């Protein structure tokens, strides 16, 4: 029966056009990667077929020897990459090549900078390497047939890499995908066997499938020069065709490790570090895991798949194995291959398997050990680079991973008042080593920016006494601190919460002055409380201010003002949640000239206005918003006019 031809011309999605432009222009200096991308896609297609065939052996249709072929034709000026993997349906071709229907699209395009060199680094992460074919080809023809469909249900996709492409129903005798590149006039270098083999060995030697090219065997002759056997073409396996992680570490070069990362991590940059390990015992597994050198564009997309692939006895099972790595290590890339699970394991069994839990625990232990090694290396550059990219994600580990909380805490880095730079490079252990002899707490301040934290009025007494304070301005810090209350026996204490007890660090003269001030300001504090009413829970003298006239403090067990602001900005109704709503404590500095003037003020209205101004200033110093800015300006102007008379 003749095939009913169904051919249509369709336009590329706008995002696809943009990506193709990036591919062609940004990656031209590294144009040979087109072959790596096509071979990588073919390898993935074979992995998917092998997994599907575990429960449906008929998908092999008598051909279970999975392989990839690379051919070239000098006369036709074409390169062909073909596989006998899972193949695609018409709808799948349109979805995977004509459009970008995947999570993270928005984040990807938000990351684009217009700098072609930087933008090109994102392309591999986004998994659209197929478009790299247009770096060297002016036309690409893809013919594919899904493993479970008839020969006349194959489809042919073709495009010149401009605004549109065609889809046509065709016949294909075998399953799998064939990609034909019609090379540009300037790309003759790729029509040489040696050139193609060199690229394959460089980029794809680690692929566990055989990558086959034709090899010409010269004619055989006798002693007289007569031909005894004609020349012939044989299949030649170009790559090692063995799973990299199964080989001895001593037999793997740094370049091979890096190329495997680029394959499994869909990244064009080299990794920061890797772990290659074999664990034996009741639960046996191998792992080859990598730390990327930069954050993926979808790091904060909670729907993005985890970066670790699960294999069972070298058979790919899934790349959506959330059970293998916790969320706070979602940037880790690589594979875990186990001998201890059945090949036909289901997703439900994976979720409940004790062996998977054991493997996950071992993998996490290895990753944390690697990070600890980097963190304690004399050359801090690698860990500093890592922390800049992934620090906020690692902080989630204190919240999520109670079992490893202490290990994660040792990896944390913060800014502090003892560090000039904004960079987070102070470890908690470093802080503890610098604590004063009688210092009992690890002090910190939280704010919505580094500048706000660094200039917080709450730091004044600490600067005077030379006490280090950690500066925390990342949103995750508030949740981190609710889960990390102590480190190496030292309690973490906010400088903006509760009573500030520095008695052990105060001199006898300091204590006597505080006692005298408490008595002198009793009536002032009472009058201020009457003015502010239910806006505050308490008015008291401050032992933490040296330069500012006043500040706001929260109770020791109340939500911080910064946390309350974050929750409100996120649209949370704290009253409905039974959270927040606690009135702040208003602290005044008895040594400040403004407070001294308030104390001496005899006019009750002026006393009230100055008190309200000081209170509103304290709100602004905390990064808060005034309920009535106009009234604040009016009162402040009135005070200034009085001073100018």
* Total-model pTM: 0.78
Count Cβ atoms below 10 Å from residue 75 Cβ, excluding itself: 6
Of the candidates 367, 209, 142, 154, the residue with the CA atom closest to the CA atom of residue 276 = 367
What pLDDT score does 507 carry? 61
CATH topology of domain 7-216: Heat Shock Protein 90 (3.30.565)
Q: How far apart are CA 483 and CA 205, in angstroms?
A: 46
Spatial separation of the C-alpha atoms in residues 574 and 564, rounded to whole Å: 8
For the chain, which residues make up each domain, given as ranges?
Answer: 7-216, 252-371
259 with 275: CB under 8 angstroms? no
In this chain, the answer to whether the domains covering 7-216 and 252-371 adopt an identical fold is no
pLDDT of residue 445: 94
**Distance separating alpha carbons of residues 125 and 130, to the nearest angstrom:** 12
- Contacts of the segment 292-296: beta carbons below 8 A, 24+ positions apart: 292/265, 292/267, 292/331, 292/333, 292/389, 293/269, 293/385, 293/389, 294/121, 294/269, 294/389, 295/331, 295/389, 295/390, 296/125, 296/267, 296/331
Give the relative orientation of helices 354-375 and 381-400 as an angle to the nearest 10 degrees. Answer: 140
Are 142 and 134 in contact by the 8 Å Cβ rule? The answer is no
Q: Is the dihedral of CA 314, 319, 323, 327 positive or negative?
A: positive
- Residue 222 confidence (pLDDT): 78
Cα 156 to Cα 96, 140, 145: the distances in Å are 14, 10, 9
Find out whether 549 and 614 touch, Cβ atoms under 8 Å.
yes
Tell me, what's the pLDDT at 323? 81
* Per-residue exposure over 504-540, b if at least 16 CB sit within 10 Å of its own CB, e if not: ebbeeeeeeeeeebeeebeebbebbbebbeeebbebb
Architecture of the domain defined by 252-371 = 2-Layer Sandwich (3.30)
Which uninterrupted H or E stretch holds 431? helix 428-433
Residues 6 or more apart whose Cβ sits within 8 Å of residue 259? 202, 203, 204, 205, 206
Give the tokens for residue 488.
């190496």
**Residue 146 confidence (pLDDT):** 97
Residues paired with 232 in a beta bridge: 217
How far is it, in rounded angstroms, from Cα 405 to Cα 399? 8
Helix (H, G, I), strand (E, B) or coil at 415: strand
Predicted confidence at residue 578, as pLDDT, reads 47
The Cα-based distances of 20 to 12, 25, 93, 197, 398 in angstroms read: 10, 9, 17, 26, 41
Contact of 274 with 334, CB cutoff 8 Å? yes
Q: What is the DSSP string of 504-572?
A: GGS-HHHHHHHHHHHHHTHHHHHHHHHHHGGG-SEEEE-SS-SSSSEEEEB-TTSPPHHHHHHHHHTT-
At residue 2, the pLDDT reads 46
pLDDT digits (tens, 9 = 90+) for 365-403: 999 999 999 999 988 899 999 999 999 999 999 999 999
Q: Which helix (H) or strand (E) holds 585?
A: strand 585-588
Residues in the chain: 645
The CA distance from 205 to 263, in Å, is 11
Residues in the chain where the model's pLDDT stays below 50: 1-3, 101, 103, 576-578
Q: CA geometry: angle at 556 spanning 553 and 561, to 5°?
A: 45
- Residues whose CB is less than 8 angstroms from the CB of residue 27 and which lie 6 or more positions away in sequence, other chains included: 33, 120, 123, 132, 135
């Amino acid at each position: 029966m003749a095939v009913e031809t169904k051919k249509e011309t369709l336009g590329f999605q706008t995002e696809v056009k943009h990506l193709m432009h990036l591919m062609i222009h940004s990656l031209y200096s590294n144009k040979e990667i087109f072959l790596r991308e096509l071979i990588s896609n073919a390898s993935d297609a074979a992995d998917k077929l092998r997994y599907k065939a575990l429960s449906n052996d008929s998908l092999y249709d008598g051909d279970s020897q999975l392989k990839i072929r690379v051919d070239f034709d000098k006369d036709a000026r074409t390169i062909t990459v073909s596989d006998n993997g899972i193949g695609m349906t018409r709808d799948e071709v349109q979805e995977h090549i004509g459009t970008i229907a995947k999570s993270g699209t928005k984040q990807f395009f938000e990351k684009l900078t217009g700098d072609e060199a930087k933008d090109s680094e994102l392309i591999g992460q986004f998994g659209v390497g197929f478009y790299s074919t247009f770096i060297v080809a002016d036309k690409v023809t893809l013919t594919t047939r899904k493993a479970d469909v008839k020969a006349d249900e194959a489809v042919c996709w073709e495009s010149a890499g401009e605004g549109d492409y065609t889809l046509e129903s065709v016949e294909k005798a075998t399953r799998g995908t064939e990609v034909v590149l019609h090379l540009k006039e300037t790309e003759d270098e790729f029509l040489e066997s040696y050139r193609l083999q060199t690229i394959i060995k460089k980029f794809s030697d680690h692929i566990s499938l055989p990558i086959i090219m034709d090899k010409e065997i010269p004619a055989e002759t006798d002693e007289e020069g007569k031909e005894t056997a004609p020349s012939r073409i044989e299949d030649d396996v170009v790559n090692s065709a063995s799973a990299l992680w199964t080989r001895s570490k001593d037999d793997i070069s740094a370049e091979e490790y890096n190329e495997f990362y680029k394959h499994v991590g869909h990244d064009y940059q080299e990794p920061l570090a890797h772990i290659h390990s074999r664990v034996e015992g009741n639960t046996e597994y191998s792992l080859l895991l990598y730390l990327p050198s930069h954050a993926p564009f979808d790091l904060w997309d909670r729907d993005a798949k985890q970066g670790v692939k699960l294999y069972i006895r070298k058979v790919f099972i899934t790349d959506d194995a959330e059970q293998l790595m916790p969320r706070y290590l979602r940037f880790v890339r690589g594979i875990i291959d186990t001998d201890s699970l059945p090949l036909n394991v289901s997703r439900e069994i994976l979720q409940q398997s004790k062996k998977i839990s054991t493997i996950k625990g071992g993998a996490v232990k290895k990753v944390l050990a690697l990070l600890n090694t980097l963190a304690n290396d004399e050359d801090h550059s690698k860990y500093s680079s890592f922390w800049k990219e992934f620090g906020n994600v690692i902080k989630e580990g204190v919240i999520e991973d109670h079992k490893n909380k202490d290990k994660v805490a040792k990896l944390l880095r913060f800014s502090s008042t003892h560090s000039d730079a904004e960079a987070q490079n102070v470890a908690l252990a470093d802080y503890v080593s610098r604590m004063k002899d009688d210092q009992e707490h690890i002090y910190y301040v939280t704010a919505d920016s580094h500048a706000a934290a660094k200039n917080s009025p709450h730091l004044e007494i600490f600067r005077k006494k030379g006490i280090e304070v950690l500066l925390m301005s990342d949103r995750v810090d508030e949740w981190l601190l609710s889960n990390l209350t102590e480190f190496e026996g030292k309690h973490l204490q906010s400088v903006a919460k509760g009573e500030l007890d520095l008695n052990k660090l105060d001199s006898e003269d300091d204590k006597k002055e505080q006692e005298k001030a408490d008595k002198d300001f009793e009536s002032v504090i009472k009058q201020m409380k009457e003015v502010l009413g239910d806006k505050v829970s308490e008015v008291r003298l401050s032992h933490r201010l040296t330069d500012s006239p006043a500040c706001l403090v929260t109770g020791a067990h109340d939500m911080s003002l910064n946390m309350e602001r974050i929750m409100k900005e996120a649209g949370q109704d704290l009253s409905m949640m039974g959270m927040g709503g606690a009135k702040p404590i208003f602290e005044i500095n008895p040594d400040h000239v403004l407070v001294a003037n308030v104390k001496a003020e005899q006019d009750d209205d002026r006393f009230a206005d100055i008190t309200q101004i000081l209170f509103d200033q304290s709100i602004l110093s905390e990064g808060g918003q005034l309920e009535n800015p106009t009234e604040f300006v009016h009162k402040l102007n009135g005070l200034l006019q009085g001073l100018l008379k």
